[in-house]
């Protein structure tokens, strides 16, 4: 189908905008079912060189509209002026636009053979490029993948234990590409395909939610929301200055555990917490001993490397009921330009972004800890759990490793205070919630100021706490041992999409070459 150039531009811009508006805080998820098809229509029939522009326009619109909070964080906490902050967000859009240009180019090349080939290629290629976004070195950033827009449907969400989030992205891209084929082909058969597909989706979403099982949890954890204001710098006497607030948090934690014995969790380090600081070490030990339960807390953990140099890590530390340190997890996937500066030798300007933030050393082990104070069917060491920290929640292929390594419970500690009251905390929760379903594990998510929740293995938020308050959430949870296909085999579906994409592109190009 031949569209005028201005219409192709509008379709490309519209595809980026509709996909961005599908996510919090816009919350128009049905638009995501149109986005990929709009980009297919913009690209199919266009000259290959011209098609690059349409994919680029999609990315340059999607990222700034969807992620404006990045500029706020850099300006408020990175001492970056508003103009430069906006420029960096634009660079993210440019990088995303380059990736989307690959999609548009391949669709345009396939469409030279047939519209059916182009539309058939689209969902496989779309997932392949989302998979690429998660694995690019340094700039890999799989935030708000297309499939997350459908995770509000409890029924559709049950696809992810098989395929990971990429299966939902494929489903949405495939339906959207089918809509594009309807516009191009204009046949009665195409109309029937779309109507049948739409009817099936509505039926599954409407009826399937009632078929999703419910679990009755046997245990309660105490998720403590510390609600400390976010700060760029902390004075040397911070613990002394805030002694009253820390005593309040100690009381909240111990009283809750004495009332209902259960694991106590504090969030990702919300203040200068470190076991190398005697006052904090004493506080944490008292909480574990006085409550008589396990205590998991986020800290800055200092240790010596192989050369004897002191290094810091963003860590989660578990104390057993005697106050003894029994497990430490060091955050592996650090935030570029937030927790470390990649390519520091060349990117000297980036020091401004981390001038007042910690420069952490990444961990290397997806280890599991054991809860000593929980009596279950598990071995005497206590039931195993995996903990991941903040930003790591957006990487499905990494979080599944905890479950594959034996974790029967997932815990996510985070400090979303950096985001303020932007859309980021809701987007972050949306993605963390999917991690629970992919592994069929209960997820306990504890944050500094929201959102603190308990999520069941099917994606239901079964308990939550109000944002921006200090307090404790009695969070129900349980343990599971079974392994989902995704937890066991990882990103098999994404790799399948990569192989099919390559095959379809090769077939399309070869046949076109022979025909010419």
Task: Tell me the C-alpha distance between 220 and 265, whole Å.
Answer: 11
Task: Please count the residues of the chain.
Answer: 516
Torsion (CA) 321, 322, 328, 329 in degrees, nearest 10: 10
Q: State the pLDDT at residue 351.
A: 55
Residue ranges of the chain with pLDDT lower than 70?
1, 75-80, 188, 190, 231-233, 343-358, 375-380, 511-516
Active-site residue flag, 268: yes
**Closest residue by Cα to residue 291 from 316, 323, 334:** 323
Active-site residue flag, 192: no
DSSP string of 20-79? Answer: HTTSTTT--GGGHHHHHHHHHHHHTTS-HHHHHHHHHHHHHHHHHHH-THHHHHHHHHS-
- 103 within 8 A of 180, measured Cβ to Cβ: no
Place of tokens 């980021």: 424
**Residues in CB range of 239: below 8 A, 6 or more apart:** 246, 272, 277, 279, 280
Three-state secondary structure of 338-402: CCECCCCCCCHHHHHCCCCCCCCCCCCCCCCEECCCCCCCCCCCCCEEEEEEHHHHHCHHHHHHH
Per residue in 124-148, pLDDT tens? 999 999 999 999 887 788 999 999 9
Q: Where are the alpha helices (DSSP H) in 234-312?
A: 238-241, 243-259, 278-291
Which candidate in 268, 339, 438, 472 is catalytic? 268
Each domain of the chain, given as residue ranges in start order, spans: 5-211+491-515, 219-477
Task: Tell me the C-alpha distance between 101 and 55, whole Å.
Answer: 4
Between the CA of residue 245 and those of 94, 266, 339, 464, what are the distances in Å? 44, 14, 27, 22
Q: What is the DSSP letter of 336?
A: B
Which candidate in 106, 130, 151, 331 is catalytic? 331
Structural tokens at position 458: 């099917």
- 70 within 8 A of 427, measured Cβ to Cβ: no
Torsion (CA) 130, 133, 136, 141 in degrees, nearest 10: -150
Task: Tell me the C-alpha distance between 389 and 363, whole Å.
Answer: 11
Task: Tell me the C-alpha distance between 426 and 414, whole Å.
Answer: 13
Q: What is the DSSP letter of 269?
A: -
Q: What is the DSSP letter of 299?
A: E
Per residue in 174-222, pLDDT tens? 999 999 998 888 776 767 777 777 778 788 877 888 889 999 999 999 9
Phi-psi region at 138: left, alpha or beta (left = phi > 0; alpha = psi -120 to 50): left
Task: Tell me the C-alpha distance between 67 and 88, whole Å.
Answer: 11
Active-site residue flag, 390: yes
Beta bridge partners, 473, equal 223
- 411 within 8 A of 387, measured Cβ to Cβ: yes
Q: State the pLDDT at residue 349.
A: 53
Which candidate in 130, 390, 408, 497 is catalytic? 390
Q: What is the DSSP letter of 454?
A: E
Q: Taking the model in full, what pTM does it have?
A: 0.92
The topology under which CATH files domain 219-477 is: Nitrilase/N-carbamoyl-D-aminoacid amidohydrolase (3.60.110)
Structural tokens at position 11: 């379709």
For the chain, the first-to-last Cα distance in angstroms comes to 20
Per residue in 449-492, pLDDT tens? 989 999 999 999 999 999 999 999 999 999 999 999 999 999 99
Q: State the pLDDT at residue 137.
A: 81
Q: What is the DSSP letter of 223?
A: E
The H or E element containing residue 303 is strand 295-304
Three-state secondary structure of 120-159: HHHHHHHHHHHHHHHHCCCCCCCCCCHHHHHCCCHHHHCC
Q: Is the dihedral of CA 393, 394, 396, 398 positive or negative?
A: negative
Sheet holding 471-477, edge to edge: 325-330, 310-319, 295-304, 264-265, 219-225, 471-477
Beta-carbon count within 10 A of 87 CB: 12
């Amino acid at each position: 189908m031949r569209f005028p150039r201005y219409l192709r531009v509008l379709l490309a811009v519209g595809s980026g905008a509709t996909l961005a508006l599908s996510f919090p805080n816009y919350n128009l998820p049905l638009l995501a079912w149109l986005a990929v098809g709009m980009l297919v229509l913009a690209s199919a029939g266009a000259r290959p060189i011209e098609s690059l522009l349409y994919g680029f326009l999609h990315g340059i619109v999607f990222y700034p509209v969807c992620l404006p909070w990045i500029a706020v964080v850099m300006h408020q906490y990175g001492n970056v002026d508003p103009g430069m902050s906006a420029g960096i967000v634009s660079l993210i859009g440019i990088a995303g636009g380059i990736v989307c240009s690959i999609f548009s180019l391949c669709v345009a090349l396939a469409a030279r053979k047939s519209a059916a080939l182009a539309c058939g290629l689209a969902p496989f290629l779309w997932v392949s490029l989302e998979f690429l976004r998660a694995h690019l070195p340094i700039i890999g950033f799989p935030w708000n993948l297309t499939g997350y827009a459908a995770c509000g449907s409890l029924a559709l969400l049950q696809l992810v234990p098989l395929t990971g989030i990429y299966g939902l992205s494929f489903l949405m891209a495939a339906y959207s590409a089918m809509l594009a084929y309807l516009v191009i082909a204009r046949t009665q058969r195409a109309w029937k395909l779309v109507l049948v597909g739409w009817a099936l989706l509505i039926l599954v979403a409407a009826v399937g939610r009632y078929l999703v099982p419910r679990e009755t949890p046997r245990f309660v954890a105490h998720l403590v929301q510390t609600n400390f204001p976010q700060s760029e710098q902390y004075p040397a006497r911070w613990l002394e200055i805030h002694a009253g607030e820390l005593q309040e948090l100690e009381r909240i934690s111990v009283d809750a555990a004495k009332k209902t014995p259960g694991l106590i969790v504090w969030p990702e380090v919300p203040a200068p917490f470190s076991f190398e600081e005697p006052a904090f070490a004493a506080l944490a030990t008292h909480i574990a001993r006085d409550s008589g339960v396990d205590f998991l807390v986020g800290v800055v953990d200092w240790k010596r490397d192989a050369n004897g140099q002191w290094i810091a890590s963003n860590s989660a530390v578990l104390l057993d009921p005697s106050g003894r340190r029994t497990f430490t997890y060091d955050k592996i996937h650090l935030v570029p330009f937030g927790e470390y500066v990649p390519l520091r030798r060349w990117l000297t300007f980036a020091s401004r972004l981390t001038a007042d933030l910690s420069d952490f050393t990444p961990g290397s082990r997806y280890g599991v800890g054991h809860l000593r104070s929980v009596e279950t069917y598990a071995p005497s060491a206590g039931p195993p759990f995996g903990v991941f920290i903040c930003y790591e929640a957006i990487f499905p292929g990494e979080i599944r490793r905890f479950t594959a390594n034996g974790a029967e419970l997932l815990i996510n500690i985070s400090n979303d205070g950096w985001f303020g009251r932007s859309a980021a905390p809701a987007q972050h929760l949306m993605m963390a919630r999917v991690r629970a379903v992919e592994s069929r594990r209960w997820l306990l998510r504890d944050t500094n100021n929201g959102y603190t929740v308990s999520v069941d293995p099917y994606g239901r938020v079964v308990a939550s706490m109000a944002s921006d308050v200090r307090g404790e959430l009695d969070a129900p949870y349980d343990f599971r041992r079974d392994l989902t296909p995704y937890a066991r085999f990882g990103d098999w579906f994404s790799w399948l999409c990569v192989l099919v994409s390559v095959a379809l592109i090769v077939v399309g190009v070869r046949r076109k070459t022979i025909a010419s």
